[in-house]
């Protein structure tokens, strides 16, 4: 599956929809898990890349020592602006930055953390090399990626539903990008090409995705991710129709009331 230009664009109405619907649906549980792993290392200075609307940033601010410095970055200024507007319980430095060309000196951070961002890097080995470059000796790169879409039920159902709405050109963003970088051997190879000599440690973490109605995950995926860009590129007038089709498919699979689906991700920890 080939990347398209809209895969990395989180702008317009996507940031508020992302924060309101997608963060509680799938990101919040993993933010707690990832921040806890970082806190166990007691870092003095932490860099977050691909911070999005700041779900991990807020968690890091809660669990890291008050003396720890947090720098949170994202490629997309609208996402970073939304994160900064939501705020954190203590000061955080917000910086727009491309993970493939970080604007920081060598050996600046004790930990680099990234939640569900590595899948979006066009040149993953280059981004990993940048993470390694800014790490101090003894530091760690801690990140997670989604497992195969087949292990993530809501995303799988939404993707199948949209293939029925657009049979001639199915939107495949969810399978192509968020769930397209799940092969641990490929991840390990990219880390090695990025200069990490030590083997990474992988942990597969399953969780549950819950919502009060099937409409909520439909909105989350169809309107709170770049999947929206794919839908609107086919026909901007059919966004509501596509969202309704996704909601109907979720209702058929999980019921018309509260819905509960499996989600699964790989957590990766690697030292320089």
What's residue 13's pLDDT?
Answer: 73
Helices (H), 104-238: 124-134, 153-165, 173-176, 184-193, 215-223, 227-234
What's residue 1's pLDDT?
Answer: 46
pLDDT tens, position by position, 179-190: 999 999 999 999
Which long-range contacts (C-beta less than 8 Å, at least 24 apart) are formed by 147-151? 147/179, 147/182, 147/204, 147/264, 147/265, 147/266, 148/179, 148/182, 149/174, 149/175, 149/179, 151/206, 151/262, 151/263, 151/264
Nearest Cα residue to 211 out of 145, 154, 264: 154
pTM reported for the whole predicted model: 0.94
Q: Where are the beta strands (DSSP E) in the chain?
A: 45-48, 69-74, 93-96, 109-115, 135-146, 201-211, 259-270
- Over pLDDT 90: what percentage of the chain? 93
Mean pLDDT of the chain: 95
Decide if 177 contacts 119 (C-beta within 8 A). yes
Nearest Cα residue to 264 out of 50, 60, 127, 116: 116
Tokens of 256: 């018309």
CB atoms under 10 Å from CB of 109, counted, come to: 24
What's residue 7's pLDDT?
Answer: 53
Name the pLDDT band for 4 (thresholds 50, 70, 90): low
**Number of folded domains that form the chain:** 1
pLDDT tens, position by position, 195-224: 999 999 999 999 999 999 999 999 999 999
What's residue 11's pLDDT?
Answer: 54
Decide if 95 contacts 71 (C-beta within 8 A). yes
pLDDT tens, position by position, 39-65: 999 999 999 999 999 999 999 999 999
Residue 187 CA to its chain's centroid (Å): 16
Residue ranges making up the domain that contains 87: 5-270
Nearest Cα residue to 251 out of 218, 209, 207, 224: 218
pLDDT tens, position by position, 84-138: 999 999 999 999 999 999 999 999 999 999 999 999 999 999 999 999 999 999 9
Which CATH number belongs to the domain containing residue 136 in this structure?
3.40.50.150
């Amino acid at each position: 599956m080939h990347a398209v230009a809209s895969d990395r664009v989180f702008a317009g109405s996507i940031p508020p929809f992302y924060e309101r619907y997608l963060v509680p649906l799938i990101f919040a549980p993993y933010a707690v898990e990832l921040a806890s792993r970082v806190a166990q290392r007691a870092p003095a200075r932490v860099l977050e890349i691909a911070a999005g609307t700041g779900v991990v940033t807020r968690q890091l601010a809660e669990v890291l020592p008050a003396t720890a410095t947090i720098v949170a970055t994202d490629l997309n200024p609208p996402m970073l602006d939304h994160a900064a507007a939501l705020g954190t319980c203590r000061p955080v430095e917000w910086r727009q930055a491309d993970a493939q060309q970080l604007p920081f000196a060598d050996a600046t951070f004790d930990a680099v953390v990234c939640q569900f961002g590595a899948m979006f890097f066009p040149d993953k080995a280059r981004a990993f090399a940048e993470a390694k470059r800014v790490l101090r000796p003894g530091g760690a790169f801690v990140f997670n990626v989604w497992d195969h879409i087949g292990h993530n039920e809501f995303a799988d159902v939404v993707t199948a539903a949209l293939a029925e709405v657009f049979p001639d050109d199915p939107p495949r963003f969810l399978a192509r990008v968020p769930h397209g970088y799940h092969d641990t051997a490929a991840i390990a190879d990219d880390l090695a090409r990025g200069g990490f000599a030590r083997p990474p440690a992988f942990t597969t973490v399953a969780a549950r995705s819950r919502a009060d109605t099937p409409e909520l995950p439909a909105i989350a995926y169809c309107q709170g991710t770049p999947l929206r860009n794919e839908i609107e590129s086919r026909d901007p007038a059919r966004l509501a129709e596509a969202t309704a089709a996704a909601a109907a498919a979720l209702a058929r699979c999980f019921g018309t009331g509260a819905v509960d689906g499996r989600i699964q991700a790989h957590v990766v920890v690697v030292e320089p």
